Amino acid sequence: TEADLAILRQRIVDPKDAPRSAPHLFAVNDLITKFNDKVFDESSGEKVIITAYDEVLGNVTSDVKKQIRKTLLTKSPSDTGNFISKLNAGVGLYYETTANLNVEDGIVNGSGCVLKKLQYQGTDSTIPFIIWVEFDRPKVGQITRNKHNNFYTPDIDRSWTPIFAQRRTFYV
């Protein structure tokens, strides 16, 4: 309604004046990506860029497999089950899940969380084995926390939820 629009217009602020923690709305995904990249670049905590590993299975030549992997890098998340080819992961930054990882546990598209810790497997690893997050709602991730109880150490808060690498199969 016109009254609703008037209320929304009263809440418009210049982006440079808005706190980073405030929800930001963008008309197109490119603007979201630019904003998120800027927040990541300016963050001072531990951070890493995680690139998806795409494996092509099937009875096709290695050249065809390479071409498919190359094509996947150009696909939008809407074409890949909301999975992205690159994740800028920074401790202390706010995230929302973009896929339904565990519906029963509440880890669904749009679940908000703060990245708390990047855990690596071995000293030479450059890719996190576990991304520890704290969800906005304490019940979200409770099943996962209980299931992976053995991964908790004294430096990992029991309210944090482990997120492991995800695997999805897309048939081509």
Q: What is the pLDDT of residue 13?
A: 81
Question: Position 141: which residue type?
Answer: G
Could you give phi then psi for residue 10, rounded to 5 degrees? Answer: -70, -20
Q: What is the pLDDT of residue 33?
A: 86
How many other β-carbons are positioned within 10 Å of the β-carbon of residue 81?
13
96-100 LR contacts (CB < 8 Å, sep 24+): 99/166
Instruction: State the pLDDT confidence band at 162, using cuts at 50, 70 and 90.
Output: very high
Q: If you average pLDDT over residues 37-51, what whole number do you get?
A: 92
Q: Given strand 112-120, what is the order of strands in its sheet? A: 94-96, 112-120, 128-135, 161-164
Q: What is the pLDDT of residue 111?
A: 95
pLDDT exceeds 90 at position 160: yes
Percent of the chain whose pLDDT exceeds 90 = 50
What does pTM read for this prediction?
A: 0.79
The tokens for 106 are: 């509440």
